[in-house]
Structure 1
Amino acid sequence: MRSACRPLFLLAAVVALAVTGAGTAFGSIAAAPATPAIVAISPSDGTTVGIYPPVTVRYAAPVTDRAAAERALTVLAPEAVPGHVTWRGATEMTWLPESYLPARTRVQVFAAGWRTEFETNAGFSAEGDISAHTFTVSIGGVPVRTMPASYGKPGWETPAGTFPILEKFRRVTFDSRTIGIPLSSPEGYLIQGEYAERLTWGGVFVHSAPWSVESQGSANVSHGCVNLAPDDAAWFYENAGIGDPVQLHW
């Protein structure tokens, strides 16, 4: 069976503050006259996340003045933290730090009328060596577990870079049609996956792949995802969290 790397569905990793109380509104909730109201921010107030956390702000309506929205966002840990902003559509802005934040640090987010505060964990991170077919987890810079892995095969190479864990799924459906491959194609697949962590909105995951165990540690055979054996994938799922960095390199 082929490896699978793209989900059937996409879920936004945000929490509605007004519903859950996952933050505090102060003053006006409108960022600026031309900027819609903020309806959600993640990470939510009081949570603990990884040292490479994406901060996502969702708006009630499309944002036409993105520069104003970006200027209204401040992240302190405990001093101002440099980062860069990307947009998913017209209503969701995500900030990512330029480098890892310190472990066990309180982080405050101010976004034009909203404030939320979260804390980083002990520094859980993973390094995927695509050439060596290994996946190594460290805590506080100290390696704690190295696992055999399989990455993207030629034509479906796993991207190099550092990615935060965006979402976690105990079970997920991988469907090749979401990336334009019909099920009737030799590359087509429709697979029920387990123990999956999303690294990109384009569909790169770390996940359990019992179908590629024989290749893990020796060959790259996936469609771009990080394939782990079921026991290793379950361990990673239980220990990894949102905002934990995964560095992938050749």
Structure 2
Amino acid sequence: MSRRTRIIAPLLATAGLVVVGLSPAASAQSLAGFTGSTGSVGAFGSETAPVSTPPVAGSSGVLTIPVPAPARAAAEVGVASVYPTHNETVGVAQPVMIHFDGPVTDRARAEASVAIRTAPAVEGKFYWVGDTELRWRPHEFWPAHTSVTVWAGGREHAFRTGDAIVSTYDDNTHLVTVTRNGEVVRTMRASAGRDAYATHNGIYYNGWRDRQVRMDSSTWGLSRTAGGYDTTVENGVRLSYDGIFIHSAPWSIADQGVRNVSHGCINVSPEDAAWYFDNTGNGDPFIVVNGPGRQFGAFDGQGDWNY
């Protein structure tokens, strides 16, 4: 360990930062970055860059520490995009998503080209969704108000998590309970998937949304003559890549809180759908429990938390 490392490591640990590549004695946490590995990812080179960190108890103002800047070998293909976007605030279930310009054959090299720093320190892991998308998430939901910096493709992306807004649908009660930082803020009557379309148990999270969403069951193989649908719903928030949304369903208000009548979506009243749309964001978790359906698939695209 260099003299400089010995000097900055205790300060980093005090500030709650994770810097990978330092020994356990030198860092708040020392965590590897390879396929299926746990911990924060990447390593830092010898250059320095000032990083503003949260105030340390007993100190005044903002603590600025010279932290080694990441110097990583490039992946075999370029990085097309990183999500969350720079300066975005997301929910506590949002994974880091890195899309490459083409198929990646050397996954270890691609992972080694990425660096992530968090404050406070969290542990997590890499995993892949297909051969063009690398993801990283904590082992547990992000702490509320975590600051995250991602270096990928030669660019820096900084984002943070907001309040811990967690929604849970209990199929025993047909109610959605929404909490913010552990406090219940809303309870909504709901109706989930019926019979063969039972909504899968597991952890989802909010994705793409729109005030009006066209839903056409023929896109997943169910024609209208066979009991399908082609309709536009209001205030739809996607929970899975295979078409599960929470949305306004005025036609099933009498069933909400009583029984399941949908093709898998979470039906709520127009008022509750508007509230959910306006008061939750991308990456906020939505959990389904006690349903008759099977477990939500890990690689649906928004099933990251189910393995």
Instruction: Report how far residue 203 of structure 1 moved.
Output: 1.2
Determine whether 1:82 maps to 2:124: yes
CA contact (8 A) 2:72 2:112 kept: no
Q: What is the CA-CA distance between 1:71 and the residue it aligns to?
A: 4.1
Three-state SS of the structure 2 residue aligned to 1:39 is strand
Summarize the alignment of residues 139-158 of structure 1 with structure 2, pairs less than 5 Å apart.
139-158=180-199
Normalised to the residue count of structure 1, the TM-score between the two structures is 0.82
Cα-to-partner distance string for 1:188-231 (whole Å, 9 max, x where unaligned): 10010111111111111111111111100000111111111000
Return the TM-score normalized by structure 2: 0.67
1:205 aligns with 2:270: no
Count matched residues: 221
Once residues 122 and 234 of structure 1 are traced to their aligned partners in structure 2, the CA distance between those partners, rounded to angstroms, is 19
For 1:74 and 1:159, the matched residues in 2 are separated by: 34
Q: Percent identity?
A: 38
Equivalent in the alignment of 1:31: 74
User: Matches of 1:69 and 1:51 in 2, distance apart?
Assistant: 25
Is 2:81 the counterpart of 1:40?
A: yes
2:204 matches 1:179: no
Matched, 1:193 2:236: no
Structure of larger gyration radius: 2
Give the CA deviation at 1:76: 3.0
**Greater percentage in strand:** 1
Query: Is the counterpart of residue 237 in structure 1 residue 237 in structure 2?
Result: no
Instruction: Tell me what 1:106 maps to.
Output: 147
Report the aligned-residue RMSD: 2.1
* Residue aligned with 1:238, SS: helix
Q: Which residue of 2 aligns with 1:170?
A: 211
**Partner residue of 1:123 out of 164, 179, 194:** 164
* 1:160 alignment partner in structure 2: 201
Aligned to 2:65: none
Structure 2 gaps, min length 5: 1-68, 291-307
Conserved 8 A contact 1:83-1:97: yes
* Aligned-residue offset at 1:103: 0.7
Letter in 1 for 2:127: V
Sort the Cα spacing of 1:27 and 1:73 in 2 relative to 1 into closer, same or farther, 3 A: closer
- Separation in 2 of the partners of 1:66 and 1:91? 10
Q: Distance in 1 between matches of 2:101 and 2:259?
A: 46
Give, in angstroms, the shift of residue 84 of structure 1.
4.7
**Structure 1, unaligned stretches of length 5 or more?**
1-25
